[in-house]
Amino acid sequence: MGRVFLAGDSAGGNFSHNMLAQASRAGLLSPTTKIEGVVLVHPFFSLGELEDVVEFLSEGKMGVTHPIFHPMGDPVRMRREVECERMLVCVEKDDVLREKGTAYYEALKGSGWEGKVELLETNGGGHVFHLWDAKLEKSHEFLQVIASFINQPT
C-alpha cells in the first residue's frame, strides 16, 4: 500500500482521530497496511456546553467525556490507539476549539507515544478560515504547511 494520511477539518478532525483509533482497535494496521500520518485541522472535540446535544444524539449512551468526543481524557488509551508515525494538530488563536485542540496535542505528546506530533497555531483567521476564503494568502500559506507535512520523506 502507498502512503496513507487521514485529515479532517473541525468535526472531520474528530472523525480522522476516531477512524485511526477504530482501525487500531480492530487490528487492521500492520507494517504493510498502515496510516503514515494524521492532520487534525481545528479539530472539534467535546465542549461541555454541548453535553445535552451529545447525550441526545447518542440516545443517552455517551457524554462529552466519552473517548469518541474526548480522546485526551485517557492518555494511555490514546497512545495505544494512535498507530501512525506522525501527526499535525492545527489550532487557530481566535477559535473556541483552540483549547481542545491544544489539549489533544499536549495529551498525545505527554502520553509516551513514540510518533512525532507537531502543533501549528495560526493567528487571526477564525475557525476553518482556509475553507471560507481559499484565495487569501493566509489560506494558501496554511495549506502549504499541511502539504509540506504530508510530503515529508519517511
Instruction: Please pick, among 24, 66, 74, 127, the residue that the annotation labels catalytic.
Output: 127
> Is 127 labeled as catalytic in the residue annotation?
yes
What share of the chain has pLDDT > 70, as a percent?
Answer: 93
Query: What is the distance of C-alpha 118 from the center of its chain?
Result: 11
> Is 130 labeled as catalytic in the residue annotation?
no
Q: Which CATH number belongs to the domain containing residue 98 in this structure?
A: 3.40.50.1820
Distance CA 39, CA 12 (A): 10
In the block, which residue shows the cell 507535512?
A: 149
> Is 139 labeled as catalytic in the residue annotation?
no
Give the total number of structural domains in the chain. Answer: 1
Instruction: Please pick, among 9, 16, 70, 95, the residue that the annotation labels catalytic.
Output: 95
Distance CA 91, CA 116 (A): 17
Please tell me the predicted confidence (pLDDT) of residue 59: 79
Distance CA 101, CA 11 (A): 12
Q: What is the pTM of this model?
A: 0.90
- Name the residue among 24, 11, 19 with its Cα closest to residue 113: 24
* Residues 6+ positions from 90 with CB-CB distance below 8 Å: 39, 40, 41, 42, 101, 119, 120, 121, 122, 142, 146
pLDDT at 16 exceeding the cut of 60: yes
Please tell me the predicted confidence (pLDDT) of residue 63: 66
Section 3-30 average pLDDT: 94
Where residue 28 falls among pLDDT bands split at 50, 70, 90? very high
Mapped onto helix, strand or coil, the DSSP state of residue 11 is helix
The domain containing residue 62 runs over which residues? 5-151
Q: Per mean pLDDT, which range of 29-33, 41-45, 60-64, 78-82 is the poorest?
A: 60-64
Please tell me the predicted confidence (pLDDT) of residue 64: 67
User: Which residue type occupies 10?
Assistant: S
The 3-class SS string of 86-126 reads EEEEEEECCCCCHHHHHHHHHHHHHCCCCCEEEEEEECCCC
